[in-house]
């Protein structure tokens, strides 16, 4: 029997899939502190990982560990170098984690472009008439340009939604061939700055790496249009939060939608929490009935497939 640690609770559909399989004995670990992980995890053959950071110091103690199944596709919360050097497999939920995030990005674009929170608030607060005579900053998406940075699973889902709104799509992803981008209706952009200059909307769907950390800072925002909006649902740290706040306050850009933060939950003194020009969500791009269930099932299925020597190649980061 294999011992599986479920690090951070996930949807019951995934937990029950493992629990009803006689090959596995599961334990849910809800205390994600380093002290707790370092004391509990050495006992397990496999780990499912939602939130919680598993660094090399923890992994060194996990002598029985054979596989980590990440609940999600980003894996910046685990030491991939250690896993590779020690032949511990890492699997992700590759095919279930793109539809909801792409819809979340589209929702943020629509909400910000139509000042929706302001409208909702004005009706509730008796400002129905007043809002009618305001100068409107809301804008149509028709004939605008979006720059999608990162054209992987989410970027490829997002492009269809943008084209449906007659938005012209520019793509910056040095690792994706021009022909693939064009076949899906986009235009490949070879320099980030060139795309930033043209875009009315910027959406980021890249992993957090040394190259993407602080990819969008004040200098980059200054290249953009004053009317531009930025959406980040990928990872905190890809946009510099302090710079974003400054750019919004000083009208360097118009608005932003932020789902992910450098520190989660964001600290109370994070200036973005008080800034009305930014729409916020709590790392919630996958929080739908469908996606939470599907991701948990796939996380569990990856564990089952691993121990049955039947891994789906699409899920593999390291095998
Ligand atoms: N907010 C959420 O709940 C949520 C949900 C799912 C994914 N995510 C995040 O979104 C990211 C993207 O997800 P995905 O499934 O599309 O990943 P993916 O791996 O399918 O695609 C990422 C793309 O980014 C490109 N890329 C890498 N480095 C780049 C760079 N420096 N410049 C431009 N492009 C670069 C890659 O070539 C790839 O095409 C994930 O890494 C994860 O961090 C967040």
CA of 154 to the centre of ligand 1 (A): 7
Q: Are 267 and 141 in a shared domain? A: yes
Mean pLDDT confidence for 141-155:
98
Strands (E), the chain: 2-7, 24-29, 46-49, 67-70, 89-91, 145-149, 168-172, 187-188, 201-204, 229-232, 255-258, 278-280, 316-318
CA of 205 to the centre of ligand 1 (A): 4
Give the number of the atom of ligand 1 that is nearest the alpha carbon of residue 104. 1
The yes-or-no verdict on residue 268 having pLDDT over 90 is yes
* pLDDT value for 77: 95
Q: Is the CB of 153 under 6 A from ligand 1?
A: yes
Q: Are 132 and 232 in a shared domain? A: yes
- CA-closest residue to ligand 1 atom 42: 74
* pLDDT value for 133: 84
Mean pLDDT confidence for 237-260:
98
Q: Are 64 and 145 in a shared domain? A: no
Token pair for 231: 């959406």
DSSP designation for 86: T
The share of the chain scoring above pLDDT 70, in percent, equals: 100
CATH of the domain at 77: 3.40.50.720
Under 8 Å between Cβ of 199 and 167: no
Over residues 105-142, the pLDDT tens digits come to 999 999 999 999 999 999 999 999 888 888 889 999 99
Q: Are 16 and 122 in a shared domain? A: no
Which residues, 6 or more positions from 54, have their beta carbon under 8 angstroms from its beta carbon? 7, 37, 41, 47, 68, 77, 78, 79
Mean pLDDT confidence for 228-234:
98
Over residues 203-224, the pLDDT tens digits come to 999 999 999 999 999 999 999 9
Q: Is the CB of 303 under 6 A from ligand 1?
A: no
Number of domains in the chain: 2
Residues serving a catalytic function are 235, 264, 283
Over residues 273-285, the pLDDT tens digits come to 999 999 999 999 9
Averaged pLDDT of the chain: 97
Long-range contacts (CB closer than 8 Å, 24 or more residues apart) made by 282-290: 283/259, 284/104, 284/259, 285/100, 285/101, 285/104, 285/105, 285/233, 285/259, 286/72, 286/97, 286/100, 286/101, 286/104, 287/100, 288/100, 288/103, 290/99, 290/100
Mean pLDDT confidence for 155-184:
98
Q: Are 261 and 161 in a shared domain? A: yes
Q: Are 240 and 303 in a shared domain? A: no
Alpha carbons 86 and 150: distance in angstroms, whole number: 30
pTM score: 0.94
CA of 44 to the centre of ligand 1 (A): 29
Q: What is the DSSP string of 155-214?
A: HHHHHHHHHHTT-EEEEE-TTS-HHHHHHTT-EE-S-HHHHHHH-SEEEE-----TTTTT
Q: Are 46 and 134 in a shared domain? A: no
Name the residue with higher pLDDT: 104 or 136.
104
Mean pLDDT confidence for 33-57:
97
* pLDDT value for 23: 97
Q: Are 150 and 167 in a shared domain? A: yes
Q: Are 116 and 190 in a shared domain? A: yes
Q: Which domain holds residue 24?
A: 2-96+289-315
Q: Is the CB of 100 under 6 A from ligand 1?
A: no
CA of 45 to the centre of ligand 1 (A): 28
Per-residue confidence at 293, pLDDT binned at 50, 70, 90? very high
């Amino acid at each position: 029997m294999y011992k599986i640690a479920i690090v951070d609770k996930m949807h019951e559909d995934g937990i029950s899939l493992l629990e009803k399989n006689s090959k596995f004995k599961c334990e849910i670990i809800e205390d994600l502190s380093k002290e707790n992980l370092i004391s509990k995890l050495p006992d397990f053959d496999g780990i499912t990982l939602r939130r919680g950071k598993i660094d090399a110091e923890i992994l060194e103690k996990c002598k029985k560990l054979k596989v980590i199944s990440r609940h999600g596709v980003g894996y910046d919360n685990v030491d991939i170098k250690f896993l590779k050097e020690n032949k511990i497999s890492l699997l992700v939920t590759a095919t279930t984690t793109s539809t909801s995030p792409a819809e979340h990005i589209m929702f943020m674009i629509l909400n910000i472009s139509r000042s929706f929170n302001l409208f909702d608030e004005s009706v509730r607060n008796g400002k129905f008439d007043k809002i009618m005579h305001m100068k409107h900053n809301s804008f149509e998406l028709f004939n605008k340009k979006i720059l999608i940075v990162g054209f992987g699973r989410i970027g490829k889902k997002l492009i269809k939604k943008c084209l449906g709104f007659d938005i012209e799509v520019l793509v910056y992803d040095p690792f994706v061939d021009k022909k693939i981008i064009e076949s899906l209706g986009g235009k490949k952009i070879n320099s980030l700055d060139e795309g930033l200059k043209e875009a009315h909307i910027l959406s980021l769907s890249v992993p957090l790496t040394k190259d993407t950390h602080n990819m969008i800072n004040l200098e980059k925002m200054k290249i953009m249009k004053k009317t531009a909006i930025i959406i980040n649902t990928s990872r905190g740290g890809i946009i510099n939060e302090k710079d974003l706040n400054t750019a919004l306050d000083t009208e360097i850009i118009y608005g932003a939608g932020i789902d992910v933060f450098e520190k989660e939950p964001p600290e109370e003194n994070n200036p973005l929490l008080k800034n009305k020009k930014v729409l916020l969500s709590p790392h919630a791009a996958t929080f739908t009935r469908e996606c939470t269930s599907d991701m948990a099932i796939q996380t569990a299925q990856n564990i089952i497939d691993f121990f049955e020597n039947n891994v789906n190649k699409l899920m593999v980061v390291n095998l």
